[in-house]
Amino acid sequence: MNTFKLKLIYPKWQKLKGQTTFNLPPHGPVAFAATLPEWVDVTFTDENVEAIDFDEQCDGVALSMMLSTQVKRGWEIADEYHRRGKLVLAGGISTMLHAEEMVNHVDSVFLGESEGRMEQVMLDWTRGELKKLYNFMGNLPPIESVGPCRRDLYKRDLYNHKGVQMVDLFHASRGCRFSCYPCAVSYLGGRCFRPRPIDKVVEDMAGIENNRLFIVDNSLAQNKEWEKELFRAIAPLKKKWISHTIEDDPEVLDLAAKAGAWYVYQAVYDTSDYIKERVKRYHDYGIGVEGTILLGLDNQSVDDCKRLIDFLGEIDLDLAEFTVLTPFPHTKVYDDLLRQGRIFDFDWNHYNAGQVVFQPKKMTPEQLQDVYEYAWKNFYKDESQEQKMFRLFCNVALREMEEGTYRPRDRRLANRSFGKDVVRYIKKN
Amino acid sequence: MKVSPDYYDEIFSFRGEWDMPSTCGLKIRRCGGRTYVIVTELYQDNPGTSVTYAGKSLAGQICLAKGLDMEEITYVECNPDTNSKLSFYDEEYFQVDFSADLQHRYRQMDRTEIESMLKG
């Protein structure tokens, strides 16, 4: 079989203004790349950290897209390659969410998970028989077939901020048994939790050079026994990791802490004592908390939002991330707001969870936008996001030093941030 | 988020977006010379596409299966009450006009209309 040279691209998107930008090495493209047959020679460009070389020789182009804010840029890239006579295949989460439009912009759309499917797709391509649609929605591959990602494709220096390597993303499971109001996961992967076999997780994780990870599973709190087994099994690896919610159970939290839990994302949806205690319990086990706060739900007025924002000051969060409710396609919130005629903006570039695209129930869109901006400013008024992140970073570095796993930052890259020179604003006397 | 069987007479299986196997609750009522086709979202018991997203395709599949004329029916989507504390899981009925643009396709029905329709 002749080698097929595939250029894999992760399109850029407009970052939210006023927020610290950290570019993490994306997971989807390298998970996809791992499913390609050996005779495909793949190169990877993450347009968020480097420009696309459209003149680089290749036999075809694949776009991997996760966010709604990537799809329009993906179409521009496809247009450019079409002008150069190249065929373009698209896949990933936002390809699935926007598939009806995607088919009009690329030569082939892949829907579903790619494990076990790419040999046939690539054979079709080399024979000039690439299909318009490869539809594996609702036909999930066995979770055992999920193997290690092609992390060798990352240009590591581009995911480095002042000498500090960004975390690697990692999946211990796929799918989710919950179907939360603003989330499309149940559409994408069925409403079922699919944990990877623990031995595979350990083998995969042990093979990652980076000792800091982000376990990006939708929620680890889905199967308590699997969760406990997972934490026991990965503890000897001495990795430090970030994750979404962990089960609110003393034994699980203890095991998570011993397994290297660094900090978790925890939804803060009301001002109850339960939330306060939940955050405290994480802290009791030495686990940091980044609160995720969704603004613009139908039961929230401006005053409700402000009360929630003020409440954050009482619960000692390490970090907070604010988003406005966004009706992504294939979510219940999309269906509801569409039926009620409340979506006024269908420009996918605005679906960044920081821009209001719908009519809220108890306030105007402008008021919601103001509340969102107030939330970021208010939470970070005394200490910036970067300063708070630095504190979390110091916590993990100290723990690593105690365990002998700390790696000093790369001095060679001390003046570089995501591939660019660091601009330092030093006042002249 | 189990939907009460009171919301439907039968479970209707349909081909959702990208042929995904999907299900909804279905009631057909005749009232005042009109045929109401009432589809209910089943949430956790619908493994595929939502009734709203399936829209006209679902209406067409029901008409084909039940020998109805798409032009003659009044199509209604039901967002069932699931006893959730969250307001967005309260009961709502919407009459759907597929000839309108996406933004103006849905009209929320009031309680009197709903009761009259369901009495049949």
- Could you tell me the CATH number of the domain that includes residue A102? 3.40.50.2300
pLDDT in tens, A206-244: 999 999 999 999 889 989 999 999 999 999 999 999 999
State the DSSP H helix or E strand holding residue A348, giving kind and residue range, or none if neither: none
Above pLDDT 90, what percent of chain A? 88
Structural domain includes residue A418 = no
CA torsion through residues B96, B97, B102, B108, sign: negative
Contact A161, A20 (CB under 8 A): no
Q: Which amino acid is at B116?
A: S
Among A80-89, A112-121, A346-355, B38-47, the range scoring the smallest mean pLDDT is B38-47
First to last CA, chain A: 67
Among A36-50, A62-76, A248-262, B72-86, the range scoring the smallest mean pLDDT is B72-86
Structural domain includes residue A109 = yes
Q: Which residues of chain A does B87 touch, with a Cβ-Cβ cutoff of 8 Å?
A: 298-299
Domain boundary at A140, A160, A192, which? Answer: A140
User: What does the mean pLDDT of chain A come to?
Assistant: 94
Tokens 């699931």 correspond to what residue?
B82
Among B1, B88, B105, the residue with its CB nearest the CB of A298 is B88
Q: Print the SS3 string covering A92-135.
A: CHHHHHCHHHHCCCCCEEEECCCCCCHHHHHHHHHCCCCCCEEE
Where do the H-state alpha helices sit in A14-117?
27-33, 68-83, 93-97, 99-102
* B87: contact with A, CB 8 A cutoff: yes
- At residue A187, does pLDDT exceed 90? no
Most A CBs within 10 Å, among B15, B46, B50, B85, to test the A interface: B50
Q: A–B: how many Cβ contacts below 8 A?
A: 67
Q: Which residues pair with A293 in a beta bridge?
A: A322
Domain count, chain A: 2
pTM to 2 decimal places: 0.91
Structural domain includes residue A267 = no
Neighbours of A405 (CB within 10 A): 15
- At residue A190, does pLDDT exceed 80? no
Listed residue (A100, A84, A75, A103) closest to A13, CA to CA: A75
Domain boundary at A117, A140, A163, which? Answer: A140
Domain boundary at A140, A174, A198, which? Answer: A140
For residues A68 and A329, what is the distance between their CA atoms, to the nearest angstrom? Answer: 9
Q: Do B50 and A332 touch (CB under 8 A)?
A: yes
Mapping DSSP to helix (H, G, I), strand (E, B) and coil, where does residue A31 land?
A: helix
Structural domain includes residue A263 = no
Above pLDDT 90, what percent of chain B? 70
Residue A160 exposure: Cα atoms within 13 Å on the Cβ side: 22
pLDDT at A11: 98
Q: Do A138 and B86 touch (CB under 8 A)?
A: no
Q: At what angle do helices A224-234 and A198-206 cross, to 10 degrees?
A: 30
For residues A160 and A164, what is the distance between their CA atoms, to the nearest angstrom? Answer: 5
Structural domain includes residue A146 = no
**DSSP code of A160?**
E
Structural domain includes residue A403 = no
pLDDT at A191: 73
Interface of A with B (CB under 8 A): 99, 111, 135, 137-138, 179, 181, 187, 190-191, 297-299, 329-330, 332-336, 338-341, 343
The whole-angstrom distance between A206's CA and the closest CA on chain B is 35
Whole-Å CA distances, A400 to A212, A230, A279: 10, 20, 23
Structural domain includes residue A83 = yes
Instruction: Compute the average pLDDT of residues A392-416.
Output: 94
Name the residue range of residue A83's domain: 4-140
Listed residue (A315, A10, A320, A324) closest to A154, CA to CA: A10
Band (A373; pLDDT cuts 50, 70, 90): very high
Instruction: Compute the average pLDDT of residues A278-304.
Output: 96
What is the residue-wise DSSP string for A273-332?
A: HHHHHHHHHHHHTT-EEEEEEEE--TT-BHHHHHHHHHHHTTTT-SEEEEEE----TTSH
ipTM of the shown complex:
0.75
Instruction: Compute the average pLDDT of residues A356-369.
Output: 98
Structural domain includes residue A264 = no
Q: Which amino acid is at A176?
A: C
**DSSP code of B87?**
G
Tokens of A90: 């698209």
- At residue A179, does pLDDT exceed 90? no
CA angle (B41, B43, B44) in 5-degree steps? 145
